[in-house]
Structure 1
């Protein structure tokens, strides 16, 4: 029921047909430790916006979500492979049919390459149609004597460093919803033409927006904002409001696993998010960095395998390899991205886990944001076409080069199994 009110939903726990999420409601996260949220100056305006959004149609269907859930379960058994990728953060300014088509074309080419190499179906999961909010390391942002709220993505505020742009505005959620709706419509037409389904994902960060798009259907609560949501490395701590929000949803969920994550904390999250050990429910997105993956990944694999938990192991070789160039640009070296990818596959294989997915920040546009590649981007070229609003993305050539590497590594693991 697309119009189920959050007030009504909060009065009763949700049964999804497989389990009861005890004490959970779409708003029970408010009783937990809530971090990485904007400070809206007008709480009444925020409440009015979320009430209105709660009556809007959902963006994705329960049946689509269930199809993805089943496919991810196949990937856990080496019978499919997950390709998750797209923009670091979607922007209102760069929204266009051409941008969507370029991203879809790149993902389709990468998926085809991977399918030929591995001999298994490739799940296409886009970071799109909802990836508008971004966590921040520092808030406020300080430039000289000026202190302003940090830019938290176009769904919250503007990137321009002035008071009007940086003031969080709940009305931006409606523009994000409208852009996500249009993006999904175009993606669906493109996927029908190619005959390959494509699903959407984003970080479940802005909890007021996410809660407004929870829907209840056939006794099950699910996010209608995307087929797949993940919990970020900054919001997966003990007592997290974001973990509480995700635990009651029927959607498959991801957990970003950075180098600070201890095995005991990971197991506690798995107990909260997947008490019934459902195949396809949880994807662990490993983002350690090339220097730390050897030390930090094996203990996580051993802890999960010791308890026989079904998870999908996916590699995010982007976030742990971010540096600032001498010229001041945030960048990533393709060489380091490839190094972490190789070690991810090698460590998973050595520890008896199935390396079943990749999670990338990439674009079909010819950007110069990451260095390296067969047609190399040098550090002195970064300013030529550096367009990202947040983190550096692989361009199409770099992404295809990485996909070729992943295809060979994945094929080798299948042959050795």
Structure 2
């Protein structure tokens, strides 16, 4: 393997979507401090996830990835982390039963603090300031002081990610993730939601399966806990490079800020700094592919990022939008499959379906989200390839950020509880609805 690039070598490639810090000395001090901190995740955990993603690519498992568009430091509380985890576990139970296969649970959390933006600047009422790039870079408040990029925030990212991972590990090993309890929550959802009657039959079937297991005395460890992994877009070059360690077992570099990291649609240039960095780390990795991606782009990325064609190493996360998914995705999947490339295909039905409502809120229609997932399944079924999973921006709270769904949220409803600082998320009820609808797609084969 070629020598791991220095931070300066990566900067020579002019990485995109990076903040402009006013004090280079403070940046260096922060990077030096990060390099000396303990890992947030371990190489062996990353390898275990890679093996599970290899199963996803073969159609032997399904990936559920979910969490915030952009985490904030203020929301790192036990209640918020528990609520997100609870909904993800509820979704996973439904998908596991419907698909008759393991569901790999991957949180979009414990590191999702930096966001790419379409413009470096934001203007309000004639005042122009640097854009908010996530709590990893600056603050959301629209003041000159808040919007100055602060490298010290990268240390806050580390500390808040550590706190989140500690909470998640405690929950998933301490009985909170017990399968029977999680299914009981789903039954509560069915009983309390008049629009959820269509999902009642599946819930009843799961009940019977669990009663059968109880009757024969089965109580495996898998009932009482789950494997849960963290992921984020590895955007900030200083932070990600500083959080890269050489594993003592293999003498190879791993990004120890998260189990799974991905390259965004705006930073996937084949000759760019992010692709170069990702080509060296050993984590399982992803790349977002949107409407501008071609089959040759996908093949070039696969050759650069996974030259040995290692199963589980590379995941393509598609984000075309409901109107473009069927026509746009098919040529990519067909050519990549024909070339024998080992990759897991995952649907991100959120980012391609964003629009601004008539009352000024950035939002998404639930029906568009579902239609994109259905289009993703349709393409793979028609080609005989594997629809490997879904990535959902969601929260465990009852926010009002996406319109539609069984609650029939309309544009006027958005003002009631719109809390996202960047992109709109599915709320608790919409997330569970999505899980049941995707479960029906899995069942139809």
Q: Deviations over 1:71-92 (max 9, x none)?
A: 0001111111100000000001
Higher helix share: 2
Query: Shift in Å at residue 144 of structure 1?
Result: 3.4
Q: CA deviation at 1:23?
A: 4.3
* Distance in 1 (alpha carbons) for counterparts of 2:165 and 2:127: 39
- The correspondence for 1:306, drawn from 327, 330, 338, is 338
Bigger Cα displacement from structure 2, 139-148 vs 316-325: 139-148
Residue aligning to 2:232: 202
1:325 alignment counterpart: 357
What is the CA-CA distance between 1:407 and the residue it aligns to? 1.1
Query: What residue in structure 1 maps to residue 112 of structure 2?
Result: 131
1:392 matches 2:441 = no
TM-score, length-scaled by structure 2? 0.87
Matching residue of 2:434: 402
Paired residue secondary structure (2:266): coil
Describe how 1:12-411 pairs up with structure 2 within 5 A: 20=1, 22-25=2-5, 27=7, 28-192=9-173, 193=175, 194=177, 195-217=225-247, 218=249, 219-411=251-443
In 2, Cα distance between equivalents of 1:141 and 1:189: 40
Which protein is bigger by CA-based radius of gyration?
A: 2
**For 2:288, what is the secondary structure of its paired residue?**
strand
Question: CA offsets, 1:129-160, max 9 Å, x none?
Answer: 00000000011112233221110000100011
Q: Distance in 1 between matches of 2:172 and 2:373?
A: 28
Task: Name the CA distance, whole Å, in 2 between partners of 1:60 and 1:325.
Answer: 40
Q: CA deviation at 1:29?
A: 2.1
Q: Measure the CA separation in 1 of the matches of 2:142 and 2:287.
A: 32
Separation in structure 1 between the aligned mates of residue 124 and residue 292 of structure 2, nearest angstrom:
29
Q: Deviations over 1:288-315 (max 9, x none)?
A: 0011112210111122012100100110
How far apart are 1:231 and its partner, in Å?
0.3
Structure 2: gaps of 5 or more residues: 178-224
Matched-pair contact (CA < 8 Å) for 1:33–1:239 = no
Asked if structure 2 preserves the Cα contact closer than 8 Å seen for 1:313 and 1:353, the reply is no
Inter-partner Cα distance in structure 1 for 2:375 and 2:294: 19
RMSD between superposed Cα atoms in Å: 1.0
What are the Cα deviations for residues 186-235 of structure 1, in whole angstroms up to 9, with x where unaligned?
00011112210110000010110010000111201000000000000000
Number of residue pairs aligned between Structure 1 and Structure 2 = 393
1:26, 1:245 within 8 Å by CA — same for their partners in 2? Answer: no
Post-superposition CA distance 1:216-263 (Å, at most 9, x none): 112010000000000000001231111111110100001101001111
Q: Is the 8 A contact 2:326 2:378 kept in 1?
A: no
Segments of 5+ residues of structure 1 without an aligned counterpart are: 1-19
